[in-house]
A and B are shown apart, each in its own frame.
Chain A
Amino acid sequence: MNIDHEYRTDISRGWNRKHILGLQDLSRDELNIILNQASEFKRLANIGETKLTPLAGTVVANLFFEPSTRTRISFGLAAKRLSADTVDFTASGSSLSKGESFVDTAKTIEAMGVSYVVVRHKTPGAPQLLAQHLDANILNAGDGTHEHPTQALLDIFTIREHFGKIGGLTVTLVGDILHSRVARSNIWGLKKLGAHVIVCGPTTLIPNDIEALGVEVSNSLDDVIERTDCLNLLRIQFERQRGHYFPSIREYAHLFGMNKQRINRAKEDVLILAPGPINRGVEITPDVADGPHSVILGQVSNGLIIRMACLYLLHLQRIASLGTAG
């Protein structure tokens, strides 16, 4: 029931990072370590090894200061698959009780024997803050509009699984780049692994300075669809639109929605990702969402193994640091 020790250390050689706060910080090698570790977990899962024991006896805290059912369940299950105990904290409102700071809350929970903290928060930089104040290893589950590293890693993992590589591919991120933490993390990760990245959306949803990250900017999906290997359709976050970034949902769907006509003009093996929940009929028409190019459900299961890989690598770092500390 346990992973072969020799093989494991081979995959994780070179990993000594305490936290996973974002893909901006990670090197190409570190990204590959995570992806390879995830491949290994996927191989084990495919042969029926779904319950592994490396984190037995440890506690993973899932601190969700911003609601997200899918991500919370995915992280919780990842921890359980590695045999960790979990504690969940979900803040109901956007803020905590008066006078109690976010760091204080996290410290209180950490005091319950927690070694790994998964944190989702509406404020950019919240995981960095915990990394400064806690002893636990921190895993960012999305901080405001900053980064969402595990979502990007699962996107990248899914692309690599399909094409066998990342280098040389053209990946187009479509939609609300301005407010998207998924886009930011994806850009860092994909660029480091050698992809050509296009960000595509209405001018109002693309930040002015995004070219400095080494991406191509397009305001026309029709212009870029033919040379795209992989489309990642970001969810339009209606709650952020305030009614003036674009005139109507119908117009958005007309300009940037993925539909049959656009599929017909795309490469034959174009891959379509969407970090759900998707708005059917907006970012993507139902026939395309459920069609042969779409790997939306595959992404969900890959999300689980990516999160397992991240937790597991943080665990290896922790053991190594405890070993050297004494």
Chain B
Amino acid sequence: MKSLLIKNGRIIDPSQGLDVQGNLLVEAGKITGLCDDTATADEVIDATGLIVSPGFIDLHVSLCEPGFEEDETIETGTAAALAGGVTSLGCLPNTAPVVDDRSSAEFILLQAARASNCHVFPLGAVTKNNEGKELAEIGQLVAGQAVGFTDADKPIENAEIMRCALEYTRMFDRPILNRPQVSELTEKGQMHEGFHSTVLGLKGIPAAAEEIMVNRDIALAELTRGRIHLMCVSTQNSVAQIRRAKAAGIQVTADVTPHHLTLTDQMLETYDPNYKVLPPLRSQEHIDALIEGLKDGTIDVICSDHTPHAAEKKTDEILGADFGIIGLETLLPVCLQSLITPGHLSWSELISKLTVGPARILGLAKGTLASGADADITLINPDIRYVLERNLIKSSSHNTPFLGKELQGRAEVVIVSGEVRYRADN
């Protein structure tokens, strides 16, 4: 295997508290370490003006295969991941059939190996067929290399099932990833409940729909000493509850999406279905609280919540459109716009949320540039500006509100297991 020398980059590795200008050597698919200008290698990459970061890890992504190949496949989804600087991702079991047994987890691994883009880690279902009734074969799924458990976009509604799941997964030291959402309060809802939903005549989803289940999940994590991870938190009070729970030593973690940090419910004024996401886009005070939560460590991870939908599922009328947007390829630029440019987070803090944070939750030996680690590396160009055109998108779906918008920052070169797998076109 070729050795790689990355020269003259700004090397940022939050796992080691590193932020230096220098050279990084990769040999036999592993990180050798920092080196001086005399080092040589089979291939040299000039990283002048670029940030050298551990490859990003996206905690939960919908790859839609098997079952919904019209939206995305493991091949196209992982290609989109690479283009976004993501070298590892957790793959949601919202497939048909659902990944609720060992062989279905192994199918994901097989397709990911065939695609040979980024690493894919299956997330297994908590309950059979994501129905929320009976536990899935969690131990078998662990044997099939599932790294965490979730019913994906379906909240685990039954508190007793959630309690059992948190107790049972303790045996394997795996987290339960839940989407906190009380369905009685989200039913038929289209957007955040507030001034704008009132004006637009769209049924609202109150912040309390999320906060009630955040509260429940924290109580159950405390009761069971299990590990709960709350996906895509979006409200002020969720952040406050998680902050208190962490201070009390409860094993709770949380992630937030870039779009919930950038876009408000006011965007729905255009009735563009690409602003229809779950949880819904909220108001500015919620955004401010989420950013506070990222700054003080209450929120551990930023993830894209990549949710591809073929064009016919994002119909022109908002009531008929499915929830969700793609996000892998806009993950970095939207974080840059909402967090770095306004000075909320340093580069090191942002990279930490995209690497160390998710690696810890899924128990992956990744997200680091330490000597001996797998050489998954993302070279970031922080300055480049471009318009997100359709033809730049590697995902097979195009449901994003950022289409046609000017973005700043992108992954320039992406290395997986010591191999250059992606270079941005110029």
Q: How far is the CB of A312 from chain B (nearest CB, A)?
A: 27
Interface assignment of B48: CB less than 8 Å from any CB of chain A = no
Interface assignment of A124: CB less than 8 Å from any CB of chain B = yes
Known: A101-B315, A101-B316, A208-B193. A124 touches B198 (CB 8 A): no
Interface 0/1 of B312-342, CB less than 8 Å to A: 1001111110000000000000000000000
Known: A128-B270, A128-B271, A129-B271. A213 touches B320 (CB 8 A): no
Interface assignment of B240: CB less than 8 Å from any CB of chain A = no
Interface 0/1 of B256-273, CB less than 8 Å to A: 000000000000001100
Cα of A303 to Cα of B43 in the assembled complex, Å: 77
Question: Which residues of A sit under 8 angstroms from B193, Cβ to Cβ?
Answer: 208
Q: Which of B200, B203, B271, B319 contacts A122, CB < 8 Å?
A: B319
B317–A123 contact, CB under 8 A? yes
Interface assignment of B343: CB less than 8 Å from any CB of chain A = no
Interface 0/1 of B194-205, CB less than 8 Å to A: 110111111110
Q: Return the chain B residue nearest A102 by Cβ.
A: B317
Interface assignment of A321: CB less than 8 Å from any CB of chain B = no
B201–A103 contact, CB under 8 A? no
A124–B312 contact, CB under 8 A? no
Known: A24-B199, A181-B201, A209-B195. A124 touches B320 (CB 8 A): no
Question: Which residues of A sit under 8 angstroms from B319, Cβ to Cβ?
Answer: 122-124, 144
A123–B199 contact, CB under 8 A? no
Question: Which residues of B sit under 8 angstroms from A213, Cβ to Cβ?
Answer: 198-199
Q: How far is the CB of A109 from chain B (nearest CB, A)?
A: 15
Identify which of residues 166-213 in chain A touch chain B, using a CB-to-CB cut-off of 8 Å: 181, 184, 207-210, 212-213
Cα of A99 to Cα of B203 in the assembled complex, Å: 25
Question: Which residues of A sit under 8 angstroms from B202, Cβ to Cβ?
Answer: 124, 144-146
Interface assignment of A229: CB less than 8 Å from any CB of chain B = no
Q: Return the chain A residue nearest B319 by Cβ.
A: A123
Interface assignment of A125: CB less than 8 Å from any CB of chain B = yes
Q: How far is the CB of B247 from chain A (nearest CB, A)?
A: 31
Mind listing 9 A-B residue pairs with CB under 8 Å?
Answer: A102-B316, A124-B319, A125-B271, A125-B317, A129-B317, A143-B201, A146-B200, A181-B201, A212-B198
Q: How far is the CB of A225 from chain B (nearest CB, A)?
A: 25
Interface assignment of A307: CB less than 8 Å from any CB of chain B = no
A209–B316 contact, CB under 8 A? no
Cα of A145 to Cα of B201 in the assembled complex, Å: 5
Give the interface residue-count category, chain A: 20 to 34
Interface assignment of A121: CB less than 8 Å from any CB of chain B = yes
Interface assignment of A283: CB less than 8 Å from any CB of chain B = no
Identify which of residues 43-87 in chain B touch chain A, using a CB-to-CB cut-off of 8 Å: none
Question: Which residues of A sit under 8 angstroms from B312, Cβ to Cβ?
Answer: 99
Known: A209-B194, A212-B195. A129 touches B316 (CB 8 A): yes
6 pairs of A and B residues whose beta carbons are closest in the complex: A125-B271, A146-B201, A145-B201, A123-B317, A209-B195, A207-B198
Cα of A205 to Cα of B28 in the assembled complex, Å: 66
Interface assignment of A126: CB less than 8 Å from any CB of chain B = yes
A125–B194 contact, CB under 8 A? no
Question: Which residues of B sit under 8 angstroms from A144, Cβ to Cβ?
Answer: 201-202, 319
Question: Which residues of A sit under 8 angstroms from B317, Cβ to Cβ?
Answer: 101-102, 121, 123, 125-126, 129
A123–B318 contact, CB under 8 A? yes
Known: A124-B271, A129-B317. A210 touches B198 (CB 8 A): yes
Q: Return the chain B residue nearest A126 by Cβ.
A: B317
Q: How far is the CB of B273 from chain A (nearest CB, A)?
A: 9
Interface assignment of A90: CB less than 8 Å from any CB of chain B = no
Interface 0/1 of B175-209, CB less than 8 Å to A: 00000000000000000011101111111100000
Question: Which residues of B sit under 8 angstroms from A212, Cβ to Cβ?
Answer: 195, 198
Identify which of residues 201-252 in chain A touch chain B, using a CB-to-CB cut-off of 8 Å: 207-210, 212-213
Cα of A101 to Cα of B273 in the assembled complex, Å: 14
Question: Which residues of B sit under 8 angstroms from A110, Cβ to Cβ?
Answer: none
Question: Which residues of A sit under 8 angstroms from B318, Cβ to Cβ?
Answer: 123-125
